[in-house]
Amino acid sequence: MTGNQTEGEEVSELETHFDPAVDLPSDVLVRAIAVAENVDPTSLTPLAYSVDPDALDAVVCRDRGTTVRFPYEGYRVVVSASGTIELFATD
């Protein structure tokens, strides 16, 4: 979880890390949302309704400078090719 905040800076609800050489960002993301919501991952809306999971995995694992942002399950999701997933709650 991000601990330092400056005025006007948004702090993520949850931050998790993955190894782009080993982990699929789409899988890590779904598990992170399930943990944040305290639900089984299979009860979530399919990720494909928000973003193509295969495309997300391909671009994040291929292009190290990439950051992908999209809404999913009431969160603004930020996936970084550096191996970070941040979830920001939306109202």
Question: What are the tens digits of pLDDT across the range 19-36?
Answer: 988 999 999 999 999 999
What is the reported pLDDT for 1? Answer: 36
Instruction: Please give the sequence-ordered ranges of beta strands (E in DSSP) within 1-91, or none if there are none.
Output: 14-17, 67-72, 75-80, 84-89
Cα 91 to Cα 88: distance, rounded to the nearest angstrom: 10
Question: What are the tens digits of pLDDT across the range 55-67?
Answer: 999 999 887 789 9
Question: What are the tens digits of pLDDT across the range 31-51?
Answer: 999 999 999 999 999 999 999
Cα 88 to Cα 10: distance, rounded to the nearest angstrom: 8
How does strand 14-17 pair with strand 75-80? unpaired
pTM for the complete prediction?
0.83
